[in-house]
Amino acid sequence: MNLKEAVTVAARALRTNRLRSALTTLGIVIGVTAVIVLIGLGNGMKAAFAEGFGQLATAIIVNKVQGSVPGGGQAKDLKMADVEALYDKARAPDVAMVIPVIQGEALATKDNGIHRTKIAGSTTDYMRVTNRAPLLGSIFTEEHERASARVVVLGVNVVASLFGGDAGRAVGSNIRIGRATFKVIGVLKKDSYNDDVALMPLSTARANLVGGDAVHMIAIKATDVASVPAAVDQITRILSERHHIRDPAKRDFDIQAMQSQVDEINQFMMFLNLFIVAVGGISLIVGAIGVANIMLVSVTERTHEIGIRKAIGAPRGAIMKQFLIESVMLAGMGGLVGVVVGVGITLIAAVIMPRMVPDFGAPEVSVWAILMSFGVSLLVGLVAGGYPARRAARLQPVEALRYQ
């Protein structure tokens, strides 16, 4: 029997028991579908993370050490002169952007609404360095900065408390922050990290809410991800010289590269994807057990047929090939249906989920997930059919007499 005839016989045998074949492939269908859909969801999560936080990999934050520095003495305040020194391209070539940030807290009120908000005063480059973007309205301008204009951009939590979450009503309205009245010119997109902020020009924050000349935080953007370590070294050297620090253990400032946090999250996402694949793999294992079980039943039911074929000269290899082909076809059909169902569900989810859960990210169909899951389904058929096929090949012709 050649390969074409073996495939024809295998297809006829599967058609004879349609319901049993369909139920047997169900485990494979579920497993393949699970792998494709879950990996699609994982890809959507990674894409959403890369869009929302990926650019933070180049961000570097400098804060004053709280309390006394190791070895005694009080930590010196960060100053605008420190910010200007970091702009020196000759000494810090890997630093692309530097902004000062002053911070505080105040009560924001509007009619009967009240919210304790975090004040952030900075420059117009704040959005680019921190990777924030306005949901509605706009950021303040250099003219606002020069005039110390009482304008503010609010985080979504502040808008929720004062305007019931209506960003359209918030933009253009006046609110009170502390004892001063501010005009809302924009609302920031949600980032789940700093959504309680009231962002305003640096000069405005100094004049109305946060006195003094100290800078509470310096936010820095490296030229690219690969340059972050070099930028950290340059920042450390410049600030150490300005603060007259020779012993690294006595630094009165703390430098934090956001790249390490982004790398940790990426590692977590990788482990999550491996877990997702493992969940789908369990379903495929269950499907493999079903295929092996049904093939064993098939061998038992067709012992008469096997005995007759052996009696007329069929070699062991031909018998084994016949049952392996049936097993692979059974698993392959399940894999094919699973691919169709999995891709369909992923595409539907890609349309629905951005509307229902905008922050999650649209699922993406993965070609390698399709190829891998379908390939594994064929391998499952080969492995699950191996023992039943070998058992069938080892039957002796005389065993056919038992079924006469």
pLDDT digits (tens, 9 = 90+) for 291-300: 777 777 766 6
DSSP for 261-329, please give it: HHHHHHHHHHHHHHHHHHHHHHHHHHHHHHHHHHHHHHHHHTHHHHHHHHHTT--HHHHHHHHHHHHHH
pLDDT in tens, 330-346: 778 888 888 999 999 98
> Would you place residue 306 in the very low, low, confident or very high pLDDT band (cuts 50, 70, 90)?
low
**Higher pLDDT among residues 193 and 137, named by residue:** 137
Most confident of 5-14, 279-288, 359-368: 359-368
Q: Is the pLDDT of residue 403 over 50?
A: no
Indicate the SS3 state at residue 176: strand
DSSP assignment of 107-132 equals: EEEETTEEEEEEEEEE-TTHHHHHT-
For position 400, what pLDDT does the model report? 45
pLDDT at position 383 = 76
The model's confidence at residue 35, banded by pLDDT at 50, 70 and 90, is: confident
Provide the pLDDT confidence category of residue 404 given band limits of 50, 70 and 90: very low
What's the whole-number average pLDDT of the chain? 80
Residue 40 has pLDDT above 90, yes or no: no
Q: How many whole angstroms separate alpha carbon 87 and alpha carbon 337?
A: 60
Asked if 63 contacts 214 with a C-beta cutoff of 8 angstroms, the reply is: no
pLDDT of residue 3: 58
